[in-house]
Structure 1
Amino acid sequence: MDWNRVEGNWKQVKGKVKEKWGQLTDDDLDQIAGRQDQLEGKIQERYGVAKDQVRQDVEEWYGSQKW
């Protein structure tokens, strides 16, 4: 699944995102609406992690999903 499909299936995917990054609120997830850059920004904001590390974490999470 490419990231565009994540955006299209965001309602189903956001539960998996919340399992991984539990500090993200439902409002955060609604605001992100499946956009990868928004997801990375919110993770960086909530967890205080460097941008490069967040990008790597998101890519690893994405690759580990059984789509």
Structure 2
Amino acid sequence: MNWDQIEGKWKQFKGSAKQQWGKLTDDDLDRIDGNKDVLAGRLQEQYGIEKEEAHRQIDDWIAGRTKH
């Protein structure tokens, strides 16, 4: 699975993202709207992590989606 697939079906993946990153609010998830850079930015803000770490977490999350 790649980000384009997640972006196109963001509404289906919002619950999984919320489960992965519990600090994200429903408003955050609506604002993200499938945009990977916005997700990374929200993770940086909510979790106090660097951009590279946010993208690593997102990539790990994407990899986990391909196993299902």
* TM value normalised by structure 2: 0.91
RMSD: 1.0
The Cα of 1:8 is off from its aligned counterpart by 1.2
Matched residues in 2 for 1:51 and 1:38: separation?
A: 11
Matched residues in 2 for 1:6 and 1:61: separation?
A: 11
- Residue 23 (structure 1) aligns with: 23
The Cα of 1:61 is off from its aligned counterpart by 1.1
Q: Is the 8 Å Cα contact of residues 14 and 29 (structure 2) preserved in structure 1?
A: yes
- Residue 59 (structure 2) aligns with: 59
Percentage of pairs with the same residue: 46
Cα deviation 1:6-59 (Å, max 9, x = unaligned): 111111101000000010000000000011001000011000011111111110
Gaps (5+ residues) in structure 2? none
Amino acid at match of 1:60: D
Matched residues in 1 for 2:20 and 2:10: separation?
A: 15
- Residue 43 (structure 1) aligns with: 43
Matched residues in 1 for 2:60 and 2:47: separation?
A: 17
Determine if the alignment matches structure 1 residue 2 to structure 2 residue 2: yes
